Amino acid sequence: MSIDKTQELVLNMGPQHPSMHGLFRMVVHLEGETVTHIDPKLGYLHRGMEKLAESRTYSQFIPYTDRLDYLASPHNNWAYVQAVEKLMGVEIPERAEYLRIIFGELARIASHQVCIASTALDMAGWSAWSYAFRDRERICDMYEMTAGSRLTVNIMRIGGMSAEPPEEFWPALQSFLDDTPEMLEEYYGIFFGNEIAMGRLKNVGILTKEMAENLSITGPVLRASGVDFDVRKAEPYSIYDRFDFKVPVRTGCDSYDRTIIRMDEIVESIKIIKQAVRDIPGGPIMAKVPKVIKPPVGEVYHRVENPKGELGFYIVSDGTTKPSRLRIRPATFINLQMLPIVAKGWKIQDVVAIFATLDAVLGEVDK
């Protein structure tokens, strides 16, 4: 062993480690504090979702999609039920579409709040973490009063929504929307405007535009690298073409922009919800769909803009009540492949921060 070079240290971070969100494991090769190589190991939360779908009927699989990206479960419901509706050619009522938009955007806000919170927590910003989670609780309360569950909401059905929001939902939503500017100001004040946090995140973990495109990164991580791509605009699904909103794009390509772009997205989501609340029509919330869902033979791919990126469902139907094959394109699984490339050469503290800015949810990564 030569003495002029530090001996390489192989550090096993995870699956049980305070900063690993869920059950992620990475084998980090260190030279001093500097990371030379990262080896991500996945699959600790693998439940075989795609195979499970083959033995469930189309409706029975909806609760399972909640467990993919459990921080934004309405989005998973949405992607799946829309894929099935596309396959069957079902038109759903206007009111259901608007309710889906409202719940989808609420889920986006909740998910981004968790991302901001966990990024702060991975840098020991305890108070920032608790404030973001405190505000997320209000969204959870809204889920709870409508669908009956706080996390795995199971709110959408093939052909519409499971339930009409109760009376008290609308005032709660309105007061939440009114309070959001104050919330965002607080997050900015305690975390994003903090010089220590800026020093930790700015110019760290550079993901250039070319790299992001080559790695097929999607979602806020891609948009923080200066690529203007959002499925809601590029390929409007549901009724997103009726709303006036911007797709926030930042060009910093660093950890800071990857995190703060989520603040911009919350602002845009608020705008969408306000328009939806203004325009929502009355009427039924379920289309006329048969009790036993039997799509025609064929295949379909449908994608939506999950808070973390592009979430796609590919379904092959053989004309029976159960899908013949179902494939999920998870957003964070594909975003996660940038971690070993981007984190190389940074300090071990930066790796933790970069991993946090990816907003990986291991339920979605491992399926």
Query: In this chain, which of 78, 80, 103, 131 binds another protein, going by CB under 8 A?
Result: 131
User: Binders of another protein: how many residues, by CB under 8 A?
Assistant: 55
With contact defined as beta carbons under 8 Å apart, do 295 and 84 qualify?
yes
Work out whether 200 is an interface residue with another protein (CB under 8 A). yes
Q: Which is nearer to another protein, 166 or 298 (CB)?
A: 166
Work out whether 207 is an interface residue with another protein (CB under 8 A). no
Q: Which is nearer to another protein, 242 or 347 (CB)?
A: 347
Work out whether 80 is an interface residue with another protein (CB under 8 A). no
Work out whether 114 is an interface residue with another protein (CB under 8 A). no
Query: In this chain, which of 7, 11, 31, 288 binds another protein, going by CB under 8 A?
Result: 11
With contact defined as beta carbons under 8 Å apart, do 156 and 102 qualify?
no
With contact defined as beta carbons under 8 Å apart, do 61 and 149 qualify?
no
With contact defined as beta carbons under 8 Å apart, do 51 and 267 qualify?
no
Which span (53-61, 83-91, 249-257, 301-309) binds another protein, by CB under 8 A?
Answer: 53-61
* Sign of the four-CA dihedral 205, 25, 212, 132: negative
Q: How far is the CB of 154 from another protein (least distance, A)?
A: 5
Q: How far is the CB of 77 from another protein (least distance, A)?
A: 11
Give start and end residues of each alpha helix (H) in the chain.
Answer: 49-54, 62-66, 73-88, 94-122, 126-147, 169-187, 195-201, 209-214, 220-223, 231-234, 255-279, 331-335, 339-342, 348-357, 362-366
Which span (100-108, 186-194, 210-218, 254-262) binds another protein, by CB under 8 A?
Answer: 186-194
Radius of gyration of the chain (CA): 21
Work out whether 180 is an interface residue with another protein (CB under 8 A). no
**Which candidate, 264, 270, 317, places its Cα nearest to that of 293?**
317
Work out whether 324 is an interface residue with another protein (CB under 8 A). no
Torsion of CA 79, 80, 83, 88, to 10 degrees: -140
**Which candidate, 317, 319, 281, 321, places its Cα nearest to that of 299?**
317
Q: Which is nearer to another protein, 182 or 241 (CB)?
A: 182
Q: Which residues bind another protein (CB under 8 A)?
A: 9, 11, 17-19, 30, 33, 56, 59-64, 66, 120-128, 130-131, 134, 144-149, 152, 154, 162-163, 166, 186, 189-191, 193-200, 347-350, 352
